[in-house]
A = this chain, B = another copy of it.
Amino acid sequence: MPTMHDVARRANVSLSTVSYAINGTRPISEETRRRIFAAMKELGYQPHALARGLASKRSRILALLFPTSERGLGNTDLEFIIGAAEAARELGYHLVLWTSDVNDVVELRQLIQQGLVDGVVLMEVHLHDKRIEYLRGIDFPFSVIGRCADVAALPYTDIDFEQTVREAVIHLIQLGHTDIGFFNYAREVFEAGYGPAVRVAQAFERITQEMGVHGVTCFCHASAQAGYVAFNALIDEHPEITAIAVMNERSVPGILQAIDDRGWCVPEDISLISLVSSRQVTEMSMPPLTTLAPPAAELGRLGVELLVQQLDGRPVSIAQTLLPCQLVLGESTGARRQRLHEPSASPQ
The interface of chain A, by Cβ under 8 A from chain B, is 1, 44, 46-51, 53-54, 59, 61, 64, 66, 68, 72-75, 77-79, 81-82, 85-86, 89, 94-99, 110, 113-116, 223-224, 249-250, 252-254, 256-257, 260, 280-281, 283-288
Name the residue among A46, A59, A78, A252 with the largest chain B CB count within 10 angstroms: A78
Residues of chain B with a CB closer than 8 A to A49's CB: 114-116
Residues of chain B with a CB closer than 8 A to A96's CB: 61, 94-97
Copies in the complex: 2
- Given that A44-B113, A114-B46 are known contacts, is A224 also in contact with B288, CB under 8 Å in the complex? yes
Residue of B nearest to A77 (CB): B78
> Contact between B73 and A85 (Cβ–Cβ < 8 Å)?
no
Residues of chain B with a CB closer than 8 A to A74's CB: 280
A78-B59 Cα distance, complex, nearest whole Å: 26
Known: A73-B78, A250-B283, A284-B285. 5 other contacts (CB 8 A): A78-B81, A252-B284, A253-B283, A253-B285, A254-B286
A234-B94 Cα distance, complex, nearest whole Å: 49
> Contact between B73 and A253 (Cβ–Cβ < 8 Å)?
no
Residue of B nearest to A46 (CB): B113
- Given that A68-B82, A94-B96, A253-B284 are known contacts, is A1 also in contact with B50, CB under 8 Å in the complex? no
